[in-house]
Amino acid sequence: MHEHPLQRFFKSLRERPVFAWERYQMRDVLVIDHPLCQAVFSRQGAQLLHFQPRGQKPWLWCAAKWPHVGAIRGGVPVCWPWYGRHPSENAWPSHGWARLLDWKLLDSSTGDDGVRLHWQLQLCDWQVDLHAHLGERMELRLSTEHQDDMPCQLSQALHAYWRIGDVSEIALSGLEGAQGYDQLNREVCQQEGELRVDGGCQRVFQHDGELQLKDHAWQRELCIDTGESADTVVWHPGARPLLGVTWDEISEFVCVEAAAGGTDSLHLAPGEKAHLSLQAWAAA
């Protein structure tokens, strides 16, 4: 079982400030050490890379080695302003520009219920804001405002990599009866019973709201809520290799994502906003 690579920041016995910038693998990262939780954000992508409530195992997985440039695999990448491949420009990066660019941290605050952060990215005629509330729970809210005078198309996702003991020993409940599309087999599907992903999975479910990630190896259950007006995407590569990720690491995550507009892009009128959220908490 590998230690989360960003837990290294919390091994020192010296007292840390709640917020501290560090340099790690050629990226600026914001290390958060609060009585309720520990977390790490990357300035690139406003990407939450590590989250761990006190007394618990990490909730998010992150690759041990990052590329010198490009996207960081792990945590919760913000896929925006498109999710997956661009619908017309094949040379443009998968999952959009947001996870490749540096965001501005407009505000950070601490309280008895945890920490709150507000990140923002301005790109052409779009403004996108990410609000995070971290404590005993994890809450991310993404808001896009279209500022041009012409309509536009948008798709987006909060592409969460959840840390688990072993992918062969997990099950997802709460999707029973949900209609979806199996992208590996290229066919529509309907979930019957609990979903197990050992062997590979890439399914998009017409499902919003809560589901449960049952992790038998770690004897814990996380409740994950993909909010309203979003699809729930479940992904694991199975036996397919991932560039820069070891075989042992691949068994230690599963992706359960909130996504909107992936199959049918959202159409935004001038001044219109689009919202996406992802929440998680430990089952009692």
Q: DSSP string covering 101-146, please? A: SBPEEEEEEEETTEEEEEEEEEETTEEEEEEEEESSSEEEEEEEEE
Name the one residue in this structure whose structure tokens are 């449960």. Answer: 212
The span from the CA of 283 to the CA of 278, in Å, is 16
For residue 283, the one-letter residue type is A
88-to-3, 27, 93, 153, 157 alpha-carbon distances in Å: 40, 31, 12, 12, 19
31-to-18, 150, 189, 242 alpha-carbon distances in Å: 8, 40, 41, 27
Cβ–Cβ under 8 Å, residues 256 and 160: yes
Omega before 35 within 30 of 0, i.e. cis: no
Long-range contacts of 191-196 (CB under 8 A, 24+ apart): 195/171, 195/234, 196/170, 196/171, 196/172
Active site residues: 159, 257
